Amino acid sequence: MEVKVLSSKLVKPSYPAGAPRPDTTKHVPSSVFDKATYHTQTVTIYYISPPVPSPDAIERGYATALGAYRLFAGQVRPGPDGAPGVLLNDHGARLVEASVDARLADIAPTKPPPAVLRLHPDLDIVEVVQVQLTRFACGSLAVGFTANPAVADGHATSDFLVAWDRAARGLPVGPSPPVHFPPRHDPPRAGFEHRGVEYYRPAPSLAHGHVHGDTTQHSIVVHKAHFTKDFVAGLRARASEGRGRPFSRFETILAHVWRTMTRARGLGSNPLQISTIRISVDGRPRLAAAPAGYFGNLVLWAFPRATVGSLLGRPLKHAAQAIHDAVARVDGAYDFQSFVDFAGSGTVEKEGLETTAPAQGGRAYFPTEGMLLLVPSYIGDGSIDAIVPVFEHNLDAFKQCCYSME
């Protein structure tokens, strides 16, 4: 597959005619959630079947959305007091246009190949947001979207993408969202322990190299498991049997893949070993102090845990319940408000704590064993795709058991 880059430029924010121009010297400091999140670029590729909007409509919509979501058009740099944040200087966001001598069907429906890395911009470029529009020979469009996760989380980014889509179709995008996070309590009231959860104290030998997951790329393959709508429904019914309220599709599929990966890794010989997963939890509906429509990071993590023996020896509902309970515990009173106070108390700096957020974010192709993405299938019929990087020697075992309901 040959991807030919046709142009690369910065798109500046545009504002309604007659509207006053905003202050381009304003600096928005990073919140405690911004500082605690992933610190690598995240990449998502969206595939659009024809007919697709014209290049001019897409670019105009991009500029209009940037006018409302100015953090994405600014630059990450320290403020006057040296604190990290984003300067709202309307620097602009990058737009790359490209074409490819292939059909979308040649790439998207298959297992994710390394070739998809050519469908998004160069990650070494420094803009907060970069977009690559790649047009296929069949008329389809790939939108490679790259953003700095220290500026906005997935929820906020989705709001921007919706605004971009509306603007490209000539619809209003609404007012700019709030970007300032409410301050902590004074004095701080951190009622729960955050060391060993969101933060850790590095040992001297690990002070410059805390790594989550195995990144030995030559022995890892990125596998896509496709779960049909009927399979998901059957799995969900099985997991929820005898329970008043059924588990969500997310809880069910994650529990299934958790058990499948445990079995595929051959961990059954050590039934007392603890298995843990990390789940991102959105704080917007959980933290009362968060302003409506907040644009930025507002995510903490849930950590379901279970022994290998209980995962493999007990029914699916056991794993699903562990996930459900762990997410439920991360509520506004428990973690989010306590985290705001703890992270803003000066303890992190005084004790030299570092964030436990994995060094890797989400990518279109990420050969990192232990990562997992659950996404709606491109088919659009309610089926789910699980993008699972696995060691090559575990792949056959994973394939053999991932479609079993046992």
105 pLDDT more than 90:
no
Q: 92: closest CA among 50, 129, 133? A: 129
Q: What's the mean pLDDT in 124-134?
A: 89
Q: What's the mean pLDDT in 149-165?
A: 94
- How confident is the model at residue 211, as a pLDDT? 42
Q: What's the mean pLDDT in 105-115?
A: 67
Q: Could you tell me what percent of the chain has a pLDDT over 90? A: 61
293 pLDDT more than 80:
yes
Least confident of 46-50, 121-125, 140-144, 274-278: 121-125
Q: Please count the other Cβ atoms lying within 10 Å of the Cβ belonging to residue 187.
A: 8
240 pLDDT more than 50:
yes
Q: What's the mean pLDDT in 195-220?
A: 65
Q: 192: closest CA among 95, 48, 335, 297? A: 335
Cα–Cα dist 315/225, whole Å:
21
pLDDT band of 116, cuts 50, 70, 90: confident
- For 10-26, how does the pLDDT look when each residue is reduced to its tens digit (9 = 90+)? 999 999 988 889 999 99
| Secondary-structure class of domain 215-401 per CATH | alpha beta
The pTM for the full model equals 0.88
Q: Please count the other Cβ atoms lying within 10 Å of the Cβ belonging to residue 64.
A: 23
- How confident is the model at residue 110, as a pLDDT? 60
- How confident is the model at residue 208, as a pLDDT? 42
- How confident is the model at residue 207, as a pLDDT? 42
Taking the CA atoms of 323, 328, 333 and 337 in sequence, report the sign of the dihedral they define: positive
- Topology (CATH level 3) of domain 3-168: Chloramphenicol Acetyltransferase (3.30.559)
Cα–Cα dist 152/149, whole Å:
5
Contacts of 365 (CB under 8 A, 6+ apart): 112, 113, 114, 116, 117, 222
- How confident is the model at residue 213, as a pLDDT? 52
- How confident is the model at residue 68, as a pLDDT? 97
Q: 54: closest CA among 131, 135, 119? A: 135
pLDDT band of 236, cuts 50, 70, 90: very high
Q: 72: closest CA among 155, 3, 138, 13? A: 13
Q: 144: closest CA among 269, 44, 276? A: 44
- For 37-88, how does the pLDDT look when each residue is reduced to its tens digit (9 = 90+)? 887 777 888 888 899 999 999 999 999 999 999 999 999 999 999 999 999 9
Would you say the CATH fold of 215-401 matches that of 3-168? yes
- How confident is the model at residue 193, as a pLDDT? 86
- How confident is the model at residue 119, as a pLDDT? 86
- How confident is the model at residue 210, as a pLDDT? 42
pLDDT band of 406, cuts 50, 70, 90: confident
- How confident is the model at residue 367, as a pLDDT? 67
Domain boundary assignment for the chain:
3-168, 215-401
